[in-house]
Amino acid sequence: MKATEMLRDRFVSEQIEARGVRDPLVLAAMRTVPREQFVPEYLSHAAYEDSPLPIGAGQTISQPYIVAFMVEALLLRGGEKVLEIGAGSGYAAAVLAQIASQVFTIERIGQLAEMATANVAVAGCRNVHVRHADGTEGWADEAPFDAILVSAGAPDVPNSLMQQLTLGGRLVVPVGRNRHVQELVRIIRIEKDEFDREDLAGVRFVPLIGKEGWESEEA
């Protein structure tokens, strides 16, 4: 086993599994994806610290524990069609790609969409599809999805995303009226117009910018 693989394995055991993430599919995915490929080269030494890191354009790659916690909250069993909102550098999409059959990920910032496309290709994730667009409106052409993961904080749950879930589908999204402090929420589509909502944990994410999210601070 290479030194980086040993470091990643120990990190998953001590910082993710030890903190309560138990899903074997998620733990295996976290042990498989090389996080150092998804952070700037000058921060590669910090890839396995459990903290968010800057990736450019004022955005961050989420701390690994939060990625694992959110992916576990999607209740994946393998083979699903998943949508991610907020591709960033592509790390969460690569983790999802180890479990799901197809991952569709949207990034509103062009340079990050290009970065994510390149990173998932280098990581060999051929089942990840990256789109540069407003993620709050989802990806209607590919809907419905078995699960949707939102990697940015929304003021409310975007209705477009709820409508793009399959029956029984799960949406995990940080929601809060403060742009930088949210409650992580899981939405399950019970019937066509019936949804179950569960609060999971307090979190801090960058704002979800878009038509069904926050207005840009530059606007």
Each residue's pLDDT expressed in tens, for the chain with a length of 219 residues: 687 889 999 999 999 999 999 999 999 999 999 999 999 999 999 999 999 999 999 999 999 999 999 999 999 999 999 999 999 999 999 999 999 999 999 999 999 999 999 999 999 999 999 999 999 999 999 999 999 999 999 999 999 999 999 999 999 999 999 888 999 999 999 999 999 999 999 999 989 999 999 998 653
pLDDT for the residue 1: 64
pLDDT for the residue 217: 66
- What is the gyration radius of the CA atoms in the chain, in angstroms? 16
pLDDT for the residue 219: 39
Q: What pairing do the DSSP bridges indicate for beta strands 53-56 and 102-107?
A: unpaired
Angle between helices 24-32 and 64-73 (to 10 degrees): 140
Judge whether 62 counts as a catalytic residue.
yes
Residue 181 one-letter amino acid: V
**Which residue in 13, 44, 51, 62 is the catalytic one?**
62
Work out the angle at residue 146's Cα, subtended by the Cα atoms of residues 145 and 152, and round it to the nearest 5 degrees: 70
CA distance 207 to 121: 27
Distant-in-sequence, close-in-space partners of 5: CB < 8 Å, separation ≥ 6: none
Taking the domain 3-203, which CATH number applies? 3.40.50.150
